[in-house]
Each structure stands twice: as C-alpha cells, then as structure tokens.
Amino acid sequence: MRMTLSSVSTHMASYLSKNTVSDTDNSEIYAYGLEILLGAIIKLLAILVSAWLLKSLSATLVVLATYAALRCFGGGAHMSTYFKCLLVGSTIIVCLGRLSHITLTSISLQYLAIVAAVSAFVICLKWVPGDTAIKPIRDRSICLGQKIKMSIMILLWSYTVLHLIQLNLNTFALAMILGCIFAVFLITPWGYRLFELIDKYVLRGGENNDNEEVCYEHSCSSTCINCRNRN
Amino acid sequence: MNTLAAALVLIAGTGISPNSWFIAYEPRIPESLKR
C-alpha cells in the first residue's frame, strides 16, 4: 500500500475516532484536520532544515512569513499532490531566502518595492481571490472581502518594507519583496499556468482528478473567479 | 484524546474558510464539512 499523507491521516483519524466520546462519526473531519496539520508541520520542518543548512534561516523565515500572510488572503495556484507541494514550495521558498542575501543598494530596493507594491495592487484588484477547483469562491461579498483584506496586507507589507530599508536591513527587505512577488505571481493566470506545467510535465504522477472540469487559462475549475471576471 | 479531536475539528474548520493557510496544496474537503 502506498503511504501518503492522506492515508496516514485517515488511519490516525480512525484510531482517534474509536477513542473519543462523540455521538457522530467525525473521523472524516479528524482526517482532514490531521492532513492540514501534519502537512504544515512537515513542510515547515523541511523549509527550516534546508534554510539552516544553506545558512539563510532568518531571511527564509521572512520570505515564508510574507508569502504565507499574502497567500492566506489572496489564494492562488495549488499543486495537485502533497509531495509536489512539499518539493516545489520548499525549494522555491528556500531559494528565495538564499537569494535575499544579494547585496542591493537602498535606492534599488525602494524602486523594487514600489514596482512590487503597484503590481500587487493591480493583481489584487483583478484576480484576488485566486480560488481552486476544490474550493471555488463564488460569493461576490466574500470576493470583495478578500480583496479588501489583501489590500490591507499589501499596505502593511509596503510600510514594513520601506521601514526595513530605512533601518538598512536590506536583506530582510529583499526577502519581503521576493516573498510578495512569489505570492502575488501565483494569483495570476501565469502563476496557475506555471504550476500546471510543473504539475503535469515536470513532476509526473500523483492523484490528479482527470474528470474534473479544468479551466485552460489557469488550471482551476471553470467556475473560478478569474473566469467569471473575464466573461 | 478529546482535546486533540476538538483541536482537529477547529483546524478542519479553518481549512474550509476563504482565508486558507495552505501554502501550495489543499486536501479534499470532506462531504460533512461542505456547506
């Protein structure tokens, strides 16, 4: 039997379900919660260990925190399996953390931050929330709410980056800029397309649902917000 | 065990909200959690 995060979670959930006092069978919900929790812990450990080995732990943590904060409200492209997610996500975040050690002048960083902020606002207006086939977001009020939350996050991000540049903490400022660029890129159709290409052609295999109706524009469900905005 | 189960139900609840904290992969949502 192939051991996946899902199968491990299901086994643990059924054990938990047998040993808890409940009127209904919640094993499905426990399995889902465990899959989220274990997935996050494993991924965090993989990123921390890789970043520590590459001697860029602090910058990688800044990239990760920025990426996670923007991703939480903005959404974006997803890989189809946990293994692919772990491999691609961890690699990109650790590489960005390492890349943050490049020496740039404060002026260059300021220009880069301004370009990133303007792009992030445009992407926020046009494509947030970046939903998926598993969890399509159709409600107009939820979409508007996510746009507002994302705009606030971008404002906070801009303020923090400019403050870090003023304090001459250029490595952390660049880490925040790279984290933001990565997060907002994955909300765009090009981000979806890139993840789709990696998913289908670079990392083959996994548990894709071939019967699912897929939007060719960004590999998500054809009812996604991006498609609706175009129609 | 009951505390862990309650915590997992709470985490599962965050998984279905629009402010998802999945970084690049999200598991299938169980039918019992779908609205």
| Predicted confidence (pLDDT) at residue A218 exceeds the cutoff of 50 | no
Alpha helices in A77-139 (DSSP H): 82-99, 106-127
Q: Does B34 touch chain A (CB under 8 A)?
A: no
Q: Show residues of chain B in contact with A196, CB under 8 Å.
A: none
Percent of chain B whose pLDDT exceeds 70: 71
Q: State how far the Cα of B19 lies from the Cα of A93, in Å rounded to an integer.
A: 20
ipTM: 0.84
With the C-alpha atoms ordered A185, A189, A190, A192, is the resulting torsion angle positive or negative? positive
Least confident range of A17-31, A87-101, A164-178: A17-31
pLDDT at A134: 77
- DSSP H helical ranges for chain A: 5-18, 27-53, 57-74, 82-99, 106-127, 140-166, 170-185, 189-197, 225-230
DSSP B29: P
- Measured in residues, chain B has a length of 35
Taking the model in full, what pTM does it have?
Answer: 0.82
Band of the pLDDT at A215, cuts 50, 70, 90? very low
With CA atoms as reference, report the closest residue to B26 among A80, A184, A73: A80
Which one of A36, A71, A135 has the shortest CB-CB distance to B12? A36
The DSSP call for residue A130 is B
Reported as a single tens digit per residue, the pLDDT across A155-206 is 999 999 999 999 999 999 999 999 999 999 999 999 999 988 988 877 665 5
